[in-house]
Structure 1
């Protein structure tokens, strides 16, 4: 019985102690909730938030959400299982470190940079929590323990500092969440350069002897690394320095930033591309039409409309001359109009007989005829002298269907795939026989850089600017930028970025600041001179100009001489025909006289 009594006493003591502990806990919980509420208010002052995302089962954060004037999303299962379009001003709170088990890809990317506040229970160490979230590339992490109402200490993760966990008191003026990547303390940024000038060009520094990059894309990357105090880990792909390989490595998260450009025609997943870096066009680079030969000059100056006007003027002046001669329509006929000697010679600027007693009307017509001859001969003489000095060019191509009539288009396969994937209507007009596809991107670009005259090329507007500047050194331009033959007039070019890159926002902000300060325009303007300085572009004429001819050759005027000979032969034939007609009339009249005399004598 005594043993039973002792057990009852012990159970009563234990129950009394448990009741006292429950009472203490129930009294301390309101103080913890009030401390956490003050913490959430402070976080809203540091950086405002409009949504509270709560992961985990029922805990103190659920009751706090009712007191905050913000929208609240409760995810007790730890995952949304579908794509949430959360605002960037979302504060994430978790009841314990294991409460957040988000698995939706796009939701993870959207919430990667958001601030997180965790409630630690038991003996969970803040260092282990920081390491766990660091593996998921989530770095804005803060934690509080169960005794936060007593200590007021917030444990914040620090990525590059030592120690990795910083203890911030609720009353401290220090910020709980900091931008970890503003100073990376030499952490490497993995990148690969496509080595396609003028985007990125490699050279040896004369002072240090190290390999360095330059170019309007490489300068952006290197300046960013200097800004955030990081180092560039430039990987070497050997002979595989093509854009396709770099884009694949970025998509596989083997690189942080690709030192190349990705076009909006190819990009399918926007998570692997930055904010647009360059806005340009994508058009054809065609051969400058050849100049017409000199023997075609006489043909092109004879415009049909002008010839028609001159012919009407000739007929009108002929009619007026015929009428003014006798002030009568008696001699008016088609032959006299079309073969009027005075009107024809007057319009050609030649002399013609002037009547001795010409009337006032006839004198006025002669003045009009002389003035018209001066205007016509002066106009055509000016045309001849100008076109013989600098003959006009042949007509340009104005349709994609006419490309095959001149030179085939050399284009890399990666660009072909992008045009096919986007169902480009202009590209579909080009016949397959008019395309020469290169699987090796640099091989195609080498042909384009050397101004190979066997092909036409597809080129972006930013690359054409350096080609146009290079052609200023040529005696004759080789190619021109066909702005009316474009696959895309609004082409966005972006920097390839790893999908989960935690400092994407810093890089895009840096990129836009470079644009704002005009550095990108400056780099692109100096692209040609950088290529010349590095020996990538020769300072010589690649246009292969034709030999200079100091004077006209016989073959240049052979056409007009043949025409002149044909006209002379026709004139002689007409002259002989006219003489034959006169002799025929004379013999005919003589025959008539003889016949009449014979008939008269026979009658006698």
Structure 2
């Protein structure tokens, strides 16, 4: 009986301790995972937890960690992941992460993952499943983690490996797999559009290699990550959009080409913007003005208006200063003033003999104005004869039709501009556009600098033509910055959307830009093209056509103006002659009409005696007085008569030598 009692008591104690065994095991597992998360936080700080699955140990850990936690029990978020913080992904099982949002998949592709594995799940199958989704930062723990302390990590070198890392080991749990790709291939395709990418044969290895600023970028990246660059050459029968299509269908890793932001919907299948450029017209320099137009363009319209104002002011001053009155003021005398016109043209003109100070000042102003006008006009005329100015350039898309050449554009680019409804392109008349079907034919025509057309070009391509024209005697084309379809075009490199080393390539691309290597490669592009025989090092400008000299038709407009001025002068003189004739015949008209009598109305003439000596006695007296030292005796009547006649002989005799009497 006592033994039975003791057995029952022991059995009760054993049954009381049995439920504590699994509870203690879960607490140990939670504590071990908590230490693991603390270790991960020391390796790389994470600010957000994303937990996939239901009712697992990670839910209890999220309460102990002082970080924000997002619970996704359904396995997929219903929104675009827009958190900018570092996120650690926890999965309650290998199949609990079933993300279906496209943008969230791209943003969380590189994030670190920790997966809790059931008993019968093998780490190899989990790593293989995640590698097919190109998610490589994967670590796993099993149910016995509290006993073993082993973390299973996926390693992707030349082949898939599973590496066991202890909780207390110094080895990192997560590594960057693509810093060393161990010779893995990078599949690509080059469009061979200079100066982006150019093909040449390496004499040492006998292999085909790429150069150009895009080709050098890809070569340096493959060398950095220890990968092999495997590239195809785009066929001449297809457009470079074939590269973009194959990248979007994930047939290529990276395209050795550039895609414009204005023709793409986003950066899902492109890199960070690699190049900022503009998309404008490449026009020929305006032709020189003909000689017969040089005479008129020297004087600007505003200057001509100022000259007309000065002409009218000087005419008014001359009209008033001649008689100090406005008696001769009239519109013809102002606009056709002979003295002012001759004076401003630097010709001789009449000058009054008894001119006042005001009139002399006006003539000085007229003389100074004529010297300035004639000197400046002559200087400009000689300069323009040596090097005539160019015609006004086109500054509006609506005036493209004024150009002598049509605007050549590839059919692919014309469709793209029409698709985005570019307002500048819509302003151009379709009759002024020459669409080239083959884009390679368009590039060949533009590279040959065919002067039969104008072209569209990006600024990075224009720099090659600008460098080429430095060896020309006279440049042919210029980059019309006033006629741009877009002044800011971001050019990006095509890249498939789930490329796992996208961040490494973009970091390499930005560093090459910051170090100045891309600028150096672009500056050397012209010489690389010359070295490879793509661009000739010779003058392609048309020969200079020298004028035959000044011909009669060049001054025909001036001769016409001269003839018109002579006719106007003759008409004016004829009008003045008719007026004088009418004034001269006005007396006869009055006599004919009986207004004025035709008879002598003067008083009768008194008959004087013949000339005697007494009549000239005063003249003799003045002569004697002027020639001797004796005084002259004269009467007041004689003196008054001489003064009234303003006789110059009386002026020669001083008043002291005249003795005057009343009678």
Is the TM value for this pair above 0.5? Answer: yes
Q: 1:151 to 1:562 in 2, by over 3 A?
A: same
RCO higher in 1 or 2 (8 Å CA, sep ≥ 6)?
1
CA distance in 2, matches of 1:21, 1:136: 44
Describe the superposition over 1:322-347 as per-residue Cα deviations: whole angstroms up to 9, x where unpaired: 43334444444444444433322221
The Cα of 1:477 is off from its aligned counterpart by 2.8
1:517 corresponding residue in structure 2 = 515
Q: 1:62 to 1:330 in 2, by over 3 A?
A: closer
Further displaced range: 48-57 or 586-595: 586-595
Give 2:66's aligned residue. 69
What's the CA shift for 1:21?
8.1
* Equivalence for 1:54: 51
Structure 2 vs 1, CA of residues 21 and 207 (structure 1 numbering), >3 Å: closer, same or farther?
Answer: farther
Partner of 2:479: 481
Alignment partner for residue 108 of structure 2, among 100, 108, 111?
Answer: 111
Within 2, Cα distance between the matches of 1:435 and 1:592?
77
> Contact (CA 8 Å) 1:88, 1:111: kept in 2 or not?
no
How do 1:454-473 and structure 2 match up within 5 A? 454-473=452-471
Tell whether 2:243 aligns with 1:246: yes
Q: Which piece of structure 1 moves more, 541-550 or 483-492?
A: 541-550
Q: Distance in 2 between matches of 1:549 and 1:474?
A: 21
Per the alignment, do residues 132 and 163 of structure 1 end up closer, same or farther by CA in structure 2, a change over 3 Å counting? closer
Aligned residues: 584
- Partner of residue 86, structure 2: 89
User: Contact (CA 8 Å) 1:476, 1:545: kept in 2 or not?
Assistant: no
Q: Which moved more, 1:216-225 or 1:563-572?
A: 563-572
Q: Distance in 1 between matches of 2:516 and 2:479?
A: 25
Q: Is the 8 A contact 1:194 1:241 kept in 2?
A: no
Q: 1:429 is matched with which residue: 427, 443, 453?
A: 427
Instruction: Provide the rounded CA distance (Å) in 2 between the counterparts of 1:145 and 1:593.
Output: 141
Alignment partner for residue 534 of structure 1, among 532, 541, 565? 532
Aligned match of 1:228: 225
The structure with the larger Rg is 2
1:113-132 equivalences under 5 Å are 113-132=110-129
1:152 aligns with 2:149: yes
> What is aligned with 2:168?
171
The alignment partner of 1:53 has SS state of strand
Partner of 1:10: none
Q: Deviations over 1:459-514 (max 9, x none)?
A: 22222222222222233332222222222222111111100000111111111111
Q: How far 1:23 moved relative to its partner?
A: 5.6
Aligned to 2:493: 495
Q: What displacement does 1:419 show? A: 2.8
Q: Which residue of 2 aligns with 1:290?
A: 287
> Does the CA contact (< 8 Å) of 2:52 and 2:71 recur in 1?
yes
CA contact (8 A) 1:88 1:114 kept: no
Task: Tell me which residue corresponds to 2:610.
Answer: none
Deviation at 1:364, TM superposition (A): 1.7
CA change 1:209–1:565 in 2 (3 A) is: farther
1:171 aligned counterpart, secondary structure: coil
Following TM superposition, by how much is the alpha carbon of 1:114 offset from its aligned partner in structure 2, in angstroms? 0.9
Cα distance change of structure 1 residues 226 and 22 upon mapping to structure 2, 3 Å threshold? farther
What is the CA distance between 1:275 and its match in structure 2?
0.8
Measured in 1, the distance between the counterparts of 2:158 and 2:144 equals 26
Query: What SS is found at the alignment partner of 1:558?
Result: helix
Structure 1: runs of 5 or more not aligned: 1-15
Matched, 1:184 2:181: yes
Q: d(CA) in 2 for partners of 1:103 and 1:513?
A: 34
| CA 1:252–1:344: 2 relative to 1, 3 Å | same
* SS of residue matched to 1:273: coil
| TM-score where L is the length of structure 1 | 0.88
Deviations 1:219-250 (A, max 9, x none): 22221111111111111343246321010011
User: Do the aligned residues in 1 keep the contact of 2:189 with 2:256 (CA within 8 Å)?
Assistant: yes
- Single out whichever of 564-573 and 507-516 deviates more from structure 2: 564-573
Find the aligned partners of 1:455 and 1:118 in 2 and give their Cα distance.
64
Deviation of residue 567 (structure 1)?
4.0
Q: Is the 8 A contact 2:191 2:234 kept in 1?
A: no
Greater Cα shift, 226-235 or 439-448: 439-448
Task: Note closer, same or farther for the CA distance 1:374–1:174 as it changes in structure 2 (3 Å cut).
Answer: same
Q: 1:580 to 1:506 in 2, by over 3 A?
A: same
Query: Compared with structure 1, are the counterparts of its residues 459 and 510 closer, same or farther at alpha carbon in structure 2 (3 Å cutoff)?
Result: same
Q: Confirm whether residue 193 of structure 1 aligns to residue 190 of structure 2.
A: yes
Return the alpha-carbon distance in structure 2 between the equivalents of residues 420 and 59 of structure 1.
56
Instruction: Give the TM-score normalised by the residue count of structure 2.
Output: 0.81
Cα gap change, 1:459/1:254 in structure 2, threshold over 3 Å: closer, same or farther? same
Shifted more, 115-124 versus 490-499: the winner is 115-124
Matches within 5 A, 1:28-43: 28-43=25-40
The verdict on how the C-alpha distance between 1:454 and 1:163 changes in structure 2, with shifts beyond 3 A counting, is: closer
Aligned counterparts, 1:294-333, within 5 A = 294-333=291-330
The answer on 1:373 being equivalent to 2:399 is no
Question: Aligned-residue CA RMSD in angstroms?
Answer: 3.1
Change (3 A) 1:347 1:28: same
